[in-house]
Amino acid sequence: MSLPELPPAALRLDVDRDALAANWRTLDALSGQAAAGAAVKANAYGLGVPVVVPVLRDAGCRSFFVAHWREVAAVAEHVPASAISVLHGPLTAADAAYAKALGVKPVINSVPQARLWLDAGGGRCHLMVDTGMNRLGLPMAELGDDTIARLEIDVLLSHLASADEDVALNEVQRGRWEEARRAVAHRRASLANSAGIALGAAYHGDLTRPGLALYGGIPRAELSDRLAQVARPMAAILQVREVAAGDTLGYNATFTAPAPMRVGTIALGYADGYLRCWSGKGIMLSQGRRLPVLGRVSMDMTIIDLSAAPDLREGDWVEAEYEPVAAAAQSGLSQYELFTLLGARFGR
Ligand SMILES: *Cc1c(COP(=O)(O)O)cnc(C)c1O
């Protein structure tokens, strides 16, 4: 049976491609001698691999990082497999065989992962060294391991735990990363995520790995004037109604109209990542006018105040105010969560 064409989505994520490309170029320039890659894990932080990866590729990006093996295929539709690295590394022989078959580079995080890779035939790979985060990566004490010595390492990586803060741990980690560079043969070295880029040339090595800042997130104040907002969640108005003074709105009647007012119900809810923390707090925008969220955010819908926009009708669109720094402060969510929450129902 052939299905009719899908009707347009009532929810879409507008991705500003020019802003995305400009952010990458800015981060590449700020990376000095190093080239900027891109973290595109978690569906490019929720913005959508099919939109984001071609833009970054065309801007000049040549290294793409995902976390899971299952994330490789979508990225490989747009860039050569050899440009893709898988941060989690091979957990099973099937992972290593998949990497070999496709030509994707695994990030080796441990001696057992190095063995899996060598058993699958080996070849160029990356090595993640844990310099103080104690999350994923080869412990410093194992740098001299015989199995590690047999790897053909392209990029020697480490990851900063607190690059968004000015703390002693940054220099401790950088020192250990330098030590690892002296201990293990490799072609290139990489340490900095978005925030790490702002820590200066000593943190850049040969390759940086921004994620958040590409998408308009601001992990450190130094970057705030240099990056543009990329993602704008947009929702259609499903219904408009006039309510009387004393009427209550939404689940658990948490909002009572103080006067007659015109309200709209939009096709955006917590199942889309617009969490209940925005209840009575979020703002929708229409031509510069601010339309506050009234009452509780529901699973698929949110009610907003249309007093400031009397012209808006069913089928019109509003934009969720989602400037990352302000939105994080207001919602209590991290900028990372704000992006990665944006759900599958958004047209991208
Ligand atoms: C996610 C990730 C990045 C990107 O970090 P941002 O803070 O988003 O720039 C870089 N490196 C590794 C290992 C990561 O897991």
pLDDT per position as a tens digit, 173-197? 999 999 999 999 999 999 999 999 9
State percent of the chain over pLDDT 70: 100
Q: Is the CB of 193 under 6 A from ligand 1?
A: yes
In the CATH hierarchy, which top-level class contains the domain 17-217? Answer: alpha beta
For residue 98, report the distance from its CA to the centre of ligand 1, in Å.
23
Q: Where exactly does CATH 3.20.20.10 map onto the chain?
A: 17-217
Domain 231-340 class in CATH: mainly beta
Residue 106 in contact with ligand 1 by CB distance below 6 A: no
Atom of ligand 1 nearest to the CA of 164: 7
Selecting among 100, 105, 251, 281, the annotated active-site residue is 251
* Total residues found in the chain within this entry: 348
Q: What is the pLDDT of residue 94?
A: 98
**Of 159, 165, 173, best ligand 1 pocket probe by most atoms within 8 Å of the beta carbon:** 159
Q: What number is the average pLDDT over the span 77-100?
A: 98
Confidence band of 66 (pLDDT split at 50, 70, 90): very high
pLDDT tier at 2 (50, 70, 90 boundaries)?
confident
- Give the contacts of 277 (CB within 8 A, at least 6 positions apart): 331, 332, 333
Q: Is the pLDDT of residue 1 over 80?
A: no
Instruction: For the chain, give the mean pLDDT.
Output: 98
Tokens 């880029």 belong to 197
Which residues, 6 or more positions from 50, have their beta carbon under 8 angstroms from its beta carbon? 74, 77, 78, 348
CB of 86 within 6 A of ligand 1: the answer is no
Catalytic residue list contains 251: yes
Nearest to 212 by CA among 324, 57, 86: 324
Give 22-45 pLDDT, tens digit per residue. 999 999 999 999 999 999 999 999
138, 193, 230, best to mutate for ligand 1 pocket (most atoms within 8 Å of CB)? 193
3-state secondary structure of 346: coil
Mutate to test the pocket of ligand 1, among 26, 31, 87, 138 (most ligand atoms within 8 A of CB): 87
Query: CB neighbours of 114 closer than 8 A, spacing ≥ 6?
Result: 108, 145, 147, 148, 150, 151
Q: Is 319 exposed, middle or buried (0-12, 13-18, 19+ CB in 10 A)?
A: middle
Looking at residue 202, the DSSP 8-state letter turns out to be G
Whether residue 126 has its Cβ less than 6 Å from ligand 1: no
Which residues make beta-bridge pairs with 302? 266
**129 DSSP β-pair partners:** 138
Find the 69 Cα to ligand 1 centroid distance in Å.
Answer: 16
> For ligand 1, what atom is nearest to the CA of residue 157?
13
Residue 41 appears among annotated catalytic residues: yes
In the chain, list all ranges with CATH 2.40.37.10: 231-340
